[in-house]
């Protein structure tokens, strides 16, 4: 019984691990780009929330879909109303881990290649994804960059026959974050 | 032994819960850190018209909408007129979104060569989140000037006699993703009326709705109730219009049936001379095409 209490208290301590190694942003930038013969579609979201625990490698994103800004108002309306259905599915999330977080030292400036793995949820559909990116540590801040493609069909985003030439089946996602050390008044 | 197994299972579950929750906890951290956002309702109606009357929507900022409206003749006009196919009434309109809350428009109607100009002000926007607002409120103000020759050139005619005005207070709400509804108390002032018995100030109450039957198709209906005994020298009726909105890439097609002859608010309210019951029904369509004139800041 004593052992049990000891282990449980260890777990409790572990789960309350300090925020010292946590990095966060609420002004991250995610761009998506669709290139098709008829039309190039680009949208930018500069209000992306993301947090990284540099000790454990836990890495999460929260993206408000209505915050994507398009060049044309009509594209934005179609994106929200017809494709991503942002009233039904207002946010996209990523819950995952940096696989090789041990290679990254937040104490030392430098550039690191990372592999991030986890669950990406868009349009109510969750897919397991593994993508490559880079972390650049500079004066205690981490610049995160990644570029990858996702298939709209993987997330049940349907493109009607009439506009198949206007929207690419695969869209390019560019992630650009500047994570800063999380300053909490509690811890 | 049994206890040990329980203990083992418990510990395993506890550990599992901790690792799974680490990411959830990070998400909570994000949620606490995130600044509250206001989620404004978009596309309460697909275009600036419910069917023939104004909707709560205004042209998006920096965007120009070209609206081509066409009404055939009345279905009860007989074979001689091919049940209305021979005649047509057209309105060509342009609308521009100056800001998020101000839209401007002009139109030319073939009915009495009427020019109309309007401004619509989006006073309140339906939203949830940081700022909560249960409905959208748009004020619509329009002036119409007919430019055909004077009916009686022998009398003294004043230019002001050609003018009428319409004002609407449009209160709209999108109930979920499929259904939108609006009510629109409407006031029309006609400078010169045909007879002493006719009122210059005319009141009507509009109501209109949209029901999405698929991602790109909706059924719309609209009723303008004309309060009785305001127009006496000519027949004047309430209007009912029903139709379908079909959205393609850059266009919205609206195909509808209505008993209103006119295409601007002043004539819709005051010059609807027949009812559905006596077959005074017009087949019509609107085609809206939207153009981005001024791109958002980030794309300039």
The answer to whether residue A136 is domain-embedded is yes
- Total domain count, chain A: 1
Contact indicator for B157, B148 with CB cutoff of 8 Å: no
Q: Which residues of B touch A81 (CB under 8 A)?
A: 42-43, 215
- What is the token pair recorded at B269? 């309210």
Q: Sort residue B293 into left (φ over 0), alpha (ψ -120 to 50) or beta.
A: alpha
How confident is the model at residue A87, as a pLDDT? 87
Q: Does A51 touch chain B (CB under 8 A)?
A: yes
Indicate if the pLDDT at residue A99 is higher than 90.
yes
3-state secondary structure B101-122: CEEEEEEEECHHHEEEEEEEEE
Residue whose pair of structure tokens reads 């197994």 in the numeric block: B5
Q: Does A60 touch chain B (CB under 8 A)?
A: yes
How confident is the model at residue A185, as a pLDDT? 46
The answer to whether residue A131 is domain-embedded is yes
| CATH number of the structural domain spanning residue A108 | 2.40.128.110
Q: Which of B5, B11, B26, B179 to mutate to test the interface with A (most CBs of A within 10 A)?
A: B26
Sign of CA dihedral B190, B191, B193, B195: positive
The answer to whether residue A82 is domain-embedded is yes
- What is the token pair recorded at B90? 């057209």
The answer to whether residue A8 is domain-embedded is no
Q: Which residues of B touch A73 (CB under 8 A)?
A: 60-63, 97, 290, 292
Q: How high does pLDDT run on average in chain A?
A: 88
Q: Does B98 touch chain A (CB under 8 A)?
A: no
In angstroms, the separation between the Cα of residue B79 and the nearest Cα of chain A is 38
Q: Choose the closest CB to B249 out of A22, A53, A166.
A: A166
How confident is the model at residue B286, as a pLDDT? 96
Domain that holds residue A29: 22-181
Contact at CB, A11 and B43, closer than 8 angstroms: no
Contact at CB, A49 and B42, closer than 8 angstroms: no
Residue B94 bridge partners (DSSP): B66, B106
pLDDT tens readout for residues A21-79:
899 999 999 999 998 888 889 999 999 999 999 999 999 999 999 999 999 988 999 99
Contact at CB, A73 and B43, closer than 8 angstroms: no
B 220-249 residues with CB below 8 A of A? 248-249
Measured at the alpha carbon of residue B251, what is the angle toward residues B109 and B216, in degrees to the nearest 5?
125
Q: Does B177 touch chain A (CB under 8 A)?
A: yes
Q: Which of B9, B23, B42, B296 to mutate to test the interface with A (most CBs of A within 10 A)?
A: B23
Cα-Cα-Cα-Cα dihedral of B77, B83, B88, B94, to 10°? Answer: 110
Residue whose pair of structure tokens reads 């196919």 in the numeric block: B85
Q: Which residues of B touch A15 (CB under 8 A)?
A: 18, 21-22
Contact at CB, B298 and A85, closer than 8 angstroms: no
A 128-167 residues with CB below 8 A of B? 160, 162-163, 166
The answer to whether residue A12 is domain-embedded is no
How confident is the model at residue A111, as a pLDDT? 95
Closest B-chain CA to A3: B7
Q: How far is CA A125 from CA A40, A92, A93, B291, in A?
A: 25, 9, 10, 33
How confident is the model at residue B172, as a pLDDT? 98
The answer to whether residue A121 is domain-embedded is yes
Residue whose pair of structure tokens reads 């007879």 in the numeric block: B195
Q: Give, for all 300 residues of chain B, the pLDDT tens digit.
A: 667 777 777 766 666 566 567 888 888 888 887 778 899 998 999 999 999 999 999 999 999 999 999 999 999 999 999 999 999 999 999 999 999 999 999 999 999 999 999 999 999 999 998 999 999 999 999 999 999 999 888 989 999 999 999 999 999 999 988 999 999 999 999 999 999 999 999 999 999 999 999 988 999 999 999 999 999 999 999 999 999 999 987 789 999 999 999 999 999 999 999 999 999 999 999 999 999 999 988 888
Q: How far is CA B30 from the centre of its chain?
A: 39
Q: Which residues of B touch A22 (CB under 8 A)?
A: 26, 29
């Amino acid at each position: 019984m004593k052992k049990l209490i000891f282990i449980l208290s260890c777990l409790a301590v572990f789960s309350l691990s300090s925020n010292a190694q946590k990095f966060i942003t609420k002004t991250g930038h995610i761009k998506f780009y669709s290139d098709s013969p008829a039309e190039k579609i680009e949208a930018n979201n500069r209000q992306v929330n993301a947090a990284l625990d540099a000790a454990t490698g836990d890495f999460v994103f929260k993206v408000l879909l209505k915050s994507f800004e398009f060049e044309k108002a009509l594209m934005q309306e179609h994106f929200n109303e017809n494709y991503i259905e942002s009233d039904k599915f207002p946010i996209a999330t990523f819950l995952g881990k940096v696989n090789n977080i041990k290679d990254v030292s937040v104490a030392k400036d430098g550039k690191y290649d990372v592999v991030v793995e986890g669950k990406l949820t868009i349009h109510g559909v969750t897919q397991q994804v593994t993508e490559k990116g880079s972390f650049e540590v500079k004066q205690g801040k981490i610049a995160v960059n990644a570029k990858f493609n996702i298939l709209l069909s993987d997330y049940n985003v349907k493109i009607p026959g009439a506009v198949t030439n206007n929207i690419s089946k695969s869209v390019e996602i560019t992630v650009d974050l500047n994570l800063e050390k999380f300053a909490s008044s509690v811890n | 032994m049994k206890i040990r197994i329980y203990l083992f299972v418990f510990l395993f579950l506890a550990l599992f819960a901790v690792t799974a929750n680490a990411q959830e906890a990070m998400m909570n951290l994000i949620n606490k850190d995130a600044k509250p956002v206001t989620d404004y309702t978009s596309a309460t109606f697909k275009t600036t018209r419910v069917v023939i009357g104004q909707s709560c929507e205004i042209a998006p900022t920096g965007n120009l909408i070209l609206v081509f409206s066409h009404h055939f003749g009345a279905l009860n006009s007989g074979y001689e007129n091919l049940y209305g196919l021979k005649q047509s009434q057209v309105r060509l309109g342009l609308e521009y979104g100056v800001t998020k809350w101000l839209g401007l428009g002009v139109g030319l109607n073939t009915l009495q060569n009427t020019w109309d100009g309007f401004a619509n002000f989006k006073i309140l926007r339906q939203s949830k989140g940081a700022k909560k607002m249960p409905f959208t409120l748009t004020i619509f103000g329009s002036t119409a000037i007919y430019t055909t020759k004077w009916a009686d050139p022998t009398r003294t005619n004043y230019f002001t006699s050609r003018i009428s005005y319409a004002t609407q207070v449009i209160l709209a709400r999108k109930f979920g993703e499929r259904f939108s509804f609006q009510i629109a108390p409407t006031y029309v002032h006609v400078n010169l009326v045909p007879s002493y018995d006719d009122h210059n100030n005319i009141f009507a109450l509009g109501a209109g709705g949209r029901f999405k039957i698929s991602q790109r198709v909706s059924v719309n209906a609209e009723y303008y109730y004309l309060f009785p005994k305001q127009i006496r020298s000519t027949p004047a009726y309430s209007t009912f219009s029903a139709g379908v909105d079909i959205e393609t890439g850059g266009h919205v097609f609206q195909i509808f049936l209505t008993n209103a002859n006119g295409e601007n608010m002043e004539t819709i309210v005051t010059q609807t001379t027949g009812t559905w019951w006596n077959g005074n029904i017009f087949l019509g369509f609107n085609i809206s095409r939207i153009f981005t004139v001024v791109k958002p800041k980030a794309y300039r």
